[in-house]
Copies of this chain bind each other. A is one copy, B any other.
């Protein structure tokens, strides 16, 4: 058992410590002495990207099943244990990891650790539960399908990456969910839900040694502690993932058209991500951004108009989203493309870089005031980053970004072949000229 201090913090706050337990189970904590809540996350380094094509949706299906029962708790007892003390418990599945988390008052930390460790180590995954939950997941897919802004983002990813692990939907498809067998999911659970694949991240008014003790006790009770395995390496990614370009239109009788226009961008550990972050803030990050000002403030063409970046281990996305009444789409596309061209040609101004950096800086500091986001930073960092940067380090990297770096990364990313995804009442209208 090796404990290291990743960050010394200041006056007892922001101290980050990490311990590796036998079997490769990692415990990382951050002290926040002035809060009463504590956030506990158990992060498993496996996600929808790790699924074979015929098992699309298995990670997320499994995530649901973990709340159905263990030898000592049924579904009601799992949720009631945490909700009865006023806490929340939930989980989410991403492409590269899956996270189970709870937020409770600090005095309830032992219970939260016990419940989460129980579901992670000792899920029963009965055939009966698989059948009931299959229905729930088909409902979840239908629910997302009724939200055109969800649909267009999914459609964009699918068009950008094609039928590949990173392009396929996290929830799976109706067909893949109907076909997944109990045995297949249980095998997936046994193979991947190991201490070596798991990070327990905790943020709040906590003592590291005490957390380690609670986690060790819970895992020991489940017979899940021990062995020589080392923690799996963070998922840093290899060669860049290839991407496609083109237009994809889904004909839907919606009131608004929804569109995403974008391309592949930077992977998660790319050094240029800070420059791209400032660029994105200025281009479409908020109400003061170019996109919002041109599309909404000046022309009243949309309610929601923004750009975004997202990142995985070996690729990322830069995209523009707009929702607008169907007849306005041509003007929206024209304005968006003109803004892209303007940025490629001239970069951003001295004034804008100050604005963009301020936006990123403040968003970071304000965004880390609650235990949940601090906990997430710890968990993700262990699984998918080279190392945990301190907040000051991140602030320094943002501050160091230059106008030239922004222009360079803008020219690299924004001149790439683009993909356009559209959902709206357009029949078989041809949008290919929108990319010319």
Chain A residues within CB distance 8 Å of chain B: 34-37, 67-68, 75-76, 79-80, 83-89, 103-105, 131-140, 142-143, 145-148, 253-256, 285-288, 292-293, 296-304, 323-325, 354-355, 358-366, 369-371
Contacts and interface: CB of A to CB of B under 8 A. Distances in A.
A67 B132 CA distance: 49
Contacts of A288: 76, 79-80, 83-84
Contacts of A140: 303
A359 B83 contact: yes
Contacts of A303: 136-137, 139-140, 143
A87 to B, nearest CB: 6
A86 to B, nearest CB: 1
Contacts of A355: 80, 83-84
B360 A86 contact: yes
Given A87-B366, A139-B324, A369-B370, A134 B300 contact: yes
Max chain B C-beta neighbours (<10 A), residue from A68, A103, A288: A288
A109 to B, nearest CB: 13
A88 B367 CA distance: 11
Q: Which 3 A-B pairs have the closest CB atoms?
A: A86-B362, A135-B300, A34-B34
A103 to B, nearest CB: 6
A74 to B, nearest CB: 9
Given A86-B360, A325-B142, A369-B370, A76 B132 contact: no
25 contacts: A34-B34, A67-B287, A68-B297, A76-B293, A79-B286, A79-B287, A79-B292, A80-B288, A84-B359, A86-B363, A86-B365, A86-B366, A87-B366, A105-B366, A132-B298, A132-B300, A133-B300, A135-B299, A140-B303, A142-B256, A142-B323, A143-B256, A143-B303, A146-B148, A370-B370
Contact of A287 (B89, B139, B323, B324): B89
Given A84-B288, A362-B105, A139 B35 contact: no
B354 A84 contact: yes
Max chain B C-beta neighbours (<10 A), residue from A132, A136, A254: A136
B89 A362 contact: no
Contacts of A325: 138-139, 142
Contacts of A298: 132
A18 B48 CA distance: 53
Contacts of A147: 146-147
A123 to B, nearest CB: 15
B358 A83 contact: yes
Contacts of A105: 362, 365-366
